Amino acid sequence: DADVTQTPRNRITKTGKRIMLECSQTKGHDRMYWYRQDPGLGLRLIYYSFDVKDINKGEISDGYSVSRQAQAKFSLSLESAIPNQTALYFCATSDLASGRTGELFFGEGSRLTVL
Amino acid sequence: AQSVTQLGSHVSVSEGALVLLRCNYSSSVPPYLFWYVQYPNQGLQLLLKYTSAATLVKGINGFEAEFKKSETSFHLTKPSAHMSDAAEYFCAVSESSGYNKLIFGAGTRLAVHP
């Protein structure tokens, strides 16, 4: 089983719908992240969380919200999806040691298409 | 502010040829530098990292990268390409002073042909 699991792996939805992407991890890491990948733009940070009570905005948080339900769970929500949120979304984790050097552990991605 | 530039969004090599993927960074403080690889339909995995120890860093699958401060570069090389090396490669930078988020380059897609 994957250490960092994302659900769903693929989702097609319509403009205006609410969407939640979920991430769970078994690595025991305290830090979790949501990134968005677009062709030609690399990965951009949406939100990150150092622990259950700590949530921080990344560089492209507008239109997104997150919830850290437990140390092992970090979900990303799109309250009202729009077509330019069509992208590949990655959850990642790190602990204090790996996070200090920037090493992240990624899930397999959730491909979201907004029509 | 930190940034990463990867020269060439697509690189194509023959099997057995040298692989060279270019990465230049900008950072006002000593950086940590990374190469991640993404195989089709998979997440990213760490290939190698520079964290201020040896400037020549060896990674998995025969890849290596050299940190050159004077050139602000961290190019990725492999002497002999394998078909299995076909993937997308991302260079990334973070600040060495405490935690900072990872800044990724746009990625380079490597194609290996027979």
Residues with Cβ within 8 Å of A56's Cβ and at least 6 positions away in sequence, in order, are: A47, A48, A49, A50
Tokens of A102: 């920037």
Q: In whole angstroms, what is the distance from residue A28 CA to residue A94 CA?
A: 9
Q: What is the 3-state secondary structure (H, E, C) of A32-57?
A: EEEEEEECCCEEEEEEEEEECCEEEE
pLDDT tier, B51 (very low <50, low <70, confident <90, very high otherwise): confident
Residue in B46, B96, B101 closest to A45 by CB: B101
Q: Does A36 touch chain B (CB under 8 A)?
A: no
- Interval A77-87 mean pLDDT: 96
Is the pLDDT assigned to residue B100 strictly greater than 70?
Answer: no
Amino acid, single-letter form, for residue B13:
V
Give the angle subtended at the CA of B11 by the CAs of B24 and B88, to the nearest 5°. Answer: 75
Q: What is the mean pLDDT of chain B?
A: 90
Residue A7 is predicted with a pLDDT of 96
Q: Does A88 touch chain B (CB under 8 A)?
A: no
Task: Show which of residues 35-64 on chain B sit within 8 Å of chain A, judged by CB atoms.
Answer: 41-46, 49, 51
pLDDT in tens, A30-70: 999 999 999 888 899 999 998 899 999 998 999 999 999 99
CA quadruple B98, B3, B91, B67: dihedral, nearest 10: -70
User: Which parts of B1-101 fold into alpha helices (H)?
Assistant: none
Instruction: Tell which wins on pLDDT, B17 or A2.
Output: B17
pLDDT in tens, B11-50: 999 999 999 999 999 987 778 899 999 998 888 999 999 9
- Interval B92-101 mean pLDDT: 68
Question: What H or E segment, with its residue span, contains residue A78?
Answer: strand A73-78
Chain B hits for A92, CB-CB cut-off 8 Å, are 44
Q: In whole angstroms, what is the distance from residue A60 CA to residue A114 CA?
A: 18
Asked, as a colleague might, if the bond just before B114 is cis with ω within 30 of 0, I would say no
Residue A99 is predicted with a pLDDT of 63
- Interval B62-89 mean pLDDT: 96
pLDDT in tens, A84-104: 999 999 999 988 777 666 788
DSSP label at B85? G
Chain A hits for B90, CB-CB cut-off 8 Å, are 42-43
- Interval B62-74 mean pLDDT: 94
